[in-house]
Amino acid sequence: MDGGIFTWLRRTPVGEQLRAAQVREDLAEAADQAAFGRPVDGELAILAGLLEPDEIVQQLLEGRRGKVSGLMALTSRRILFTAEGADPRAALIIHRADVVDARGQTHRGLGSLILTTGSGDLVVDQILGTQAETFAENTLRAPTEAGPAVDPLTALAELRARHQAGDVGDAEFEARKRQLFEQI
């Protein structure tokens, strides 16, 4: 099994599928770090359409809200939940500034996430592993602290190389390049 479990199962990892479809790199990276128990292609497509050019996807997780499975994303500005098979206009969107508290817990391999806002609690459960706890911690962390400190010039060089290699599309390249220039 020199190609890993995905080669053995003959499935391409979600992050690679997103890169092949020219989807934003931050979304592909977050998908690489997430554990999915079912195909989430529909929710990823909806999520990609909801993202603003100036926000960065920091974490994805698959879970269930009420009786509906879906995909939850933590970005630098918002938290989004897109339900399986739902209309994109039905996506739940919470601004990070509105989150008062976030708690994650794991029991027998499945996690629950509780986000408290001024208008009540949002509960998402059936989350694989400890992703709920990590999501809660990342939610409470200030957005500027959410990612590791990276030298903007190094990040710009990497971005240019990925753009030239075709891994990053023109629109995403321009948006991320603008963000990096603001940090220099």
Whether 12 shows a pLDDT value over 80: the answer reads no
Torsion of CA 139, 142, 146, 148, to 10 degrees: -150
Whether 142 shows a pLDDT value over 90: the answer reads no
The whole-model pTM stands at 0.72
Of all residues in the chain, what percent carry a pLDDT higher than 90? 43
Specify whether the CB–CB gap between 110 and 125 falls below 8 A. yes
Beta bridge partners of 106: 111
Q: What is the mean pLDDT of the chain?
A: 84
Confidence of residue 146 (pLDDT cuts 50, 70, 90): very low
Arithmetic mean of pLDDT, 93-106: 94
Beta bridge partners of 110: 107, 128
Q: Given this model, what pLDDT does residue 124 score?
A: 96
Q: Which of 7-21, 98-112, 144-158 comes out lowest in average pLDDT?
A: 144-158
Specify whether the CB–CB gap between 115 and 104 falls below 8 A. no
